[in-house]
Structure 1
Amino acid sequence: MARLDRLDSIRDVAQVGAVIGREFTHELLAAATGLPELELERATNQLVTSGLVFRRGSDNQASYAFKHALVQDAAYSSLLHSRRQQLHARIGLILEERFPEIVATEPELLAHHFGQAGLLEKAVEYNELAGRRALSRSVLTEALARFDNALSGLSALPPSEERSRRELSIQLALGSTHVAAHGFAAPPTADAYRRARELCEELGETRQLFPVLYGLSLYHIYAAEFTEARSVADRLLELAEADNDSGLSFFAHRAAGVSAFPAGEFTRARIHLEEALALYDPRAHRAPAFVYAFDPRVVCLVYLARTLLPLGFPDQALAANDEAVAEAHAVDHRNSLALPLFFGGVIRQIIGDHEGVQEQCSELTRIASEAGFRLWLAGATILSAWTKAEAGDFGRGRLELQRGITEWRATGAEFMVPYFIALQAQIEVRAGDPGAALLLLEAAQAGIERTKERWFAAEILRLQGEVLLQLGEDKTRGSRDRLLDALATARAQGARFWELRAALSLVRANCPAPGAREQLALIYSGFTEGLTLPDLQAAQTLATTKEGRRAAN
């Protein structure tokens, strides 16, 4: 402070620099001080000579930095509060009017100046912009902080329609950020979307209600509240039909398809997802990627892939998922990329593609770790655990899989848990403990009955049948009953891949059901792809060759 006082004639320049920040450019300093160039040059030379600031470059391209943060603090604290506010307001307006590149790349800087100036509406505007920019780059902690700052500023403004609309916009973005940071079913995710729904109802807003309801449907899906998710999706279809808007119809069909899959309504899911893809317009629908948390086309492709596999189209399922990965890379959005990497790993787990799971898991682990995606990091742990168990490291596989499930559920997610428990059971089977496997499968079955998550229901019944078979002769009848239940469940769902597996297990059973081999042959004959997969090759051998007939008998 004493050194600044000795430079009384140029102290104002140092103070303006301190308000700008620890570092500042000659161009911005000139605009903020309003001094003639010669006078400003003399002042900056004195500041440099005094050792209070450093200079890089020359003339109008020069930039300055205070030698120490304490020097900046001393200059800043020497200003009266009213003068500080005036300078912050002036600097914010100068940046807004003359430095569009800073507005685009550093909106948080304008939020800071307008906030310090007490210009709350502008501070809210630029905090929201800064949050959206951070979200687009998957810098989630920064995005959450900026959106929280924006909401805090809004709360100090008087109630108005404009304030409510601004809050709605922020709550939507906040919901997307919480999805990425904490997961679909995390309490903060639900809070953001529920508040957004209240605002939509208050404002009579229909168009903005779509991303809000879609966010809520995802919350319900991952919280394993499938009836509620279906209800929300049906509401979106009603709204889209009433509005006769193809853009809204795209999002409604997407929601309907996504919500149908967990319930095992594969045909319904496929119809809605293919309708959504047919309606997709990249110019109209790609822009809301960050409002909806994911690129919309990527979501459609991922869930279509998951639907095509049980329907009996494994090659098309892999192709759709690979297309989703390519699309996510093209839009350069990490949360959108995490989705097909995880669920692509699940598809490859189901068909037994060990190397494919490793590849998906490696990239997913990297981006989830870098971006702080809690849900996807848990998913990567689950995929990795499976690969270790498949390689024979059952102990490590067990521990990592349990850790992954615990971390998944810690986000509030219950969706997929029966499938994960089935993975645990398969590890126990391979490790030679069918008794432990049966207990796990019974827990998975109980989860299905509680939540009605039925997309993997036929497979869990089949696995129970196979485990009962391993446990001894007294379990044979129970084994066949489970396998027949698996076959009936798969058939009712139109899930030909699950149906093939159940029929295959029946043929391999000690006491196969009458006509099991003929039934397997008929199911196999309906497949036109995936013929090199182990399940299809085994079915061909058992159903169509003499060796297969002898093995079946």
Structure 2
Amino acid sequence: MVLTGPGSPDFGDVQKRAYTLCQKLPGKPRQFPITYGLCLYHWGRAEFKIAHPLAVKLLETANRIENENAVSSDVTSDEAVMAACNINGMIAFHMGESEQAHAYLTRSVDLYQPDRDAALYPIYLMDFGVFGRFYLALACVACNKTDMAHQHARDAYELAQTLNQPHSVGFSLLANMIVAAQCDEPEVAQQYSQQCVAFSSQFGFPEFIGMSRVVRGWAAAKLGHPSEGLDDLKEGYTLWAAQDLKTGNRGLPV
């Protein structure tokens, strides 16, 4: 998922097999994180008619665990609520429900404790503190809360520097880049896009490189270099589109 994106067929095949096997085993072990993984795949494919019911199921489970003040064999209350609100917020954002997305993501981010929750990264394939702030920043822009959007993006970057997670650093750069682009700040967007291309090239994150080149091309065109910018934008979009991620286009400035 880190190298190919959550919408890739290979990632989807793994999640579908895991979910099917989980349903067949006694007690359905690891059902919560496995359901999250399947939901993440359908989110990445923009298949919200499938992803949304799975996300609602996760939220119902999380609320039950929280209300019963219980710890299941799989997840704690805070982990469940944090993960469920994260994925529900992401889905709500892409369905155009920006205020609801803001509420979900705020709840998720508020629960995050780096010393405790950074260890969840290999389970959910994202850091809820960094990625949650990334999407919370996007939701803030959509809700016309641009100052808060910039702050959440900066917080994502600062947090990512403390974690041993290159992918999270990439997401934090995307957060600042996309917020700057959506706020029509081409100089700032150009700075972060160049930084993200250089960083992501070191680690082989084609999704990040593609999105960054789209924004870098947009920024170049805005700053008076339309031909150069259009070439960069086209090549970036081709690279990004090849990753099969269908939900990233709402964050792009084109």
How far, CA to CA, are the matches of 2:227 and 2:113 in structure 1?
49
8 Å CA contact 2:137, 2:148 repeated in 1: yes
Question: Separation in 2 of the partners of 1:204 and 1:241?
Answer: 23
The match for 1:363 is 195
Q: Which residue of 1 aligns with 2:45?
A: 223
Q: Report if aligned partners of 1:220, 1:229 keep a CA contact under 8 Å in 2.
A: yes
Q: Is the 8 A contact 2:94 2:250 kept in 1?
A: no
Which of the residues 207, 212, 220 maps onto 2:34? 212
Structure 1 unmatched ranges of 5 or more: 1-178, 424-553
CA distance in 2, matches of 1:405, 1:360: 17
Aligned partners of 1:317 and 1:243: how far apart in 2? Answer: 31
| Residue 226 of structure 2, aligned match among 394, 401, 404 | 394
Q: Conserved in 2, the CA contact under 8 Å of 1:405 and 1:417?
A: no
Q: Does 1:270 align with 2:102?
A: yes
Q: Please show how residues 253-332 of structure 1 align to structure 2 within 5 Å.
A: 253-332=85-164
Aligned in 2, Cα 1:257/1:288: closer, same or farther, shift over 3 Å?
same
Which residue of the partner structure matches residue 198 of structure 1? Answer: 20
Deviation of 1:338 (Å)? 1.1
Stretch deviating more after TM superposition (285-294 or 372-381): 285-294
Q: Which has the higher contact order (CA 8 A, sep 6+)?
A: 2
Distance, in Å, in 1 between the alignment partners of 2:230 and 2:89 is: 33
Match of 1:232 in 2: 54
Structure 2: distance between partners of 1:206 and 1:254: 23
Query: How far apart are the structure 2 equivalents of 1:401 and 1:368?
Result: 17
Counterpart for residue 374 of structure 1? 206
Please state how far the C-alpha of 1:207 moved relative to its aligned partner: 6.5
Q: Within 1, Cα distance between the matches of 2:28 and 2:59?
A: 12
Deviation for aligned residue 1:419: 6.1
SS, match of residue 3 in structure 2:
helix
Cα 1:254/1:207, change in 2 over 3 Å: farther
User: What residue number does 1:415 align with?
Assistant: 247
Counterpart-to-counterpart distance in 2, 1:289 and 1:205: 24
State TM-score, norm by structure 2: 0.88
CA separation in 2, counterparts of 1:289 and 1:252?
Answer: 15
1:247-281 deviation digits (Å, cap 9, x = unpaired):
31221111111111111111111111121123323
| Among 1, 6, 9, the residue aligned to 1:187 | 9
Q: Greater CA deviation, 333-342 or 410-419? A: 410-419
Question: What do residues 422-458 of structure 1 show as CA deviations (whole Å, max 9, x unaligned)?
Answer: 62xxxxxxxxxxxxxxxxxxxxxxxxxxxxxxxxxxx
In structure 2, the residue corresponding to 1:291 is in which secondary structure? helix
Q: Structure 1 residues 254 and 180, CA, compared in 2 at 3 Å: closer, same or farther? A: same
CA displacement at 1:383 relative to structure 2: 1.6
In the alignment, the residues of structure 1 paired with residue 102 and residue 16 of structure 2 have an alpha-carbon distance, to the nearest angstrom, of 29
State the 1:213 CA deviation.
2.4
- Indicate how the Cα distance of structure 1 residues 188 and 389 shifts in structure 2: closer, same or farther if over 3 A, else same: same
- For residues 386-415 of structure 1, what are the alpha-carbon distances to aligned partners after superposition, in whole Å with 9 as ceiling and x for unaligned? 122112222222222122122111111222
Determine helix, strand or coil for the equivalent of 1:180: coil
- Report the Cα offset of residue 357 of structure 1: 0.8
> Which residues of 2 match residues 423-502 of structure 1 at below 5 A?
423=254
Shift of 1:232: 1.6
Question: What is the CA-CA distance between 1:205 and the residue it aligns to?
Answer: 5.3
Percent identity over paired residues: 26
Asked whether 1:344 is paired with 2:176, we answer yes
Change (3 A) 1:204 1:383: farther
Whether the 8 Å contact between 2:178 and 2:251 is mirrored in structure 1 is no
Paired residues in the alignment total: 244
Q: CA deviation at 1:320?
A: 0.4
Which blocks of at least 5 consecutive residues in structure 2 are unaligned? 67-76
Which residues in structure 2 correspond to 1:25-36 (within 5 Å)? none
The 2-side partners of 1:316 and 1:419 are apart by 17
Distance 1:267 1:347 in 2: 17
TM-score normalized by the length of structure 1: 0.42
Q: Secondary structure at the match of 2:2?
A: helix
Deviation at 1:332, TM superposition (A): 2.7
| Matching residue of 1:542 | none
| Deviations 1:119-142 (CA, angstroms, capped at 9, x unpaired) | xxxxxxxxxxxxxxxxxxxxxxxx
Report the Cα distance in structure 2 between the residues aligned to 1:185 and 1:389, rounded to whole angstroms: 30
Q: CA deviation at 1:292?
A: 1.7
Output the CA distance in 2 between the equivalents of 1:229 and 1:197.
Answer: 14
Root mean square deviation of aligned Cα: 1.9
Pair 278,350 (structure 1): closer, same or farther in 2 beyond 3 Å: closer
Letter in 2 for 1:282: P
Alignment match, 2:71: none
Q: Could you list the per-position Cα deviations for residues 48-96 of structure 1 after superposition, in whole angstroms to 9, with x for gaps in the alignment?
A: xxxxxxxxxxxxxxxxxxxxxxxxxxxxxxxxxxxxxxxxxxxxxxxxx
Which amino acid in 2 is paired with 1:292?
Y
